[in-house]
Amino acid sequence: MNVPVADVERSKRFFTALGWRLEEGMTSEHGAAFVIDEGQILMVAEREFYKSMIKSGKTLGDPARVAMVAIAFDLPSRAAVDELVARAEAAGATLDAADDYGFMYQRGFDDPDGNHFEPFWADPAGPVD
C-alpha cells in the first residue's frame, strides 16, 4: 500500500514510533518503506513524487480533507490493537472511538497527514449467535 505524505522525515518518525521497521533499501528522500509485518509493507511518498506515480490523470486528493481509503490490517489480540493505537496517539495520531462487536474489535486513527488506518482483531470463530 502507498500513501501520500507532506513530510517524509515526519512520517519516518511517526511510523517507527508505532514499532514498524524502516526498510532502508526501499527508502530515499522522496519516500520510505515500513515493514508492518511479514508480507505487509507501507510505502509513504512525498506528495509530488506520489502524484508522478498516478498515470490515469486523476487528481491527487488530500487525505487531511477527503476520506480516501481506510487501511485495515489484523492484529493478534484486542490488547495488540490498543497497544498500537496508544503508540500512534503518543506519536501524534488523531484517534477514532473503538468499535467493539464482540467477535471483532477495531480502533481507527489518522497519521499526521490524515491517512486513515484501521487495526483490528477478529475472533477466528466469527460471531456467536
What is the model's pTM?
0.90
Per-residue pLDDT band at 129 (split at 50, 70, 90): low
Where do the domains of the chain lie, and which CATH numbers do they carry? 2-55+68-122 (3.10.180.10)
- Provide mean pLDDT across the span 14-33: 96
pLDDT at 54: 86
- The per-residue DSSP string of 78-116 comes to HHHHHHHHHHHHHTTPEEEEEEE-SSEEEEEEE-TT--E
pLDDT at 41: 94
Kind and range of the H or E run holding 5: strand 2-5
Distance CA 121, CA 42 (A): 19
- Residue 37 scores a pLDDT above 80: yes
Give the three-state DSSP class for 117.
Answer: strand
Residue indicated by cell numbers 507501507: 42
pLDDT at 104: 96
pLDDT at 61: 84
Could you read off the pLDDT of 56-88 as tens digits, one per residue? 888 888 888 888 889 999 999 999 999 999 999
Give the three-state DSSP class for 45.
Answer: strand
Residue indicated by cell numbers 496517539: 89
Look up residue 69 and give its three cell numbers: 481509503
DSSP state of 125: T
Cross-strand partners of 74: 120
- The per-residue DSSP string of 51-67 comes to HHT--S-PPPP-TTTS-
pLDDT at 17: 98
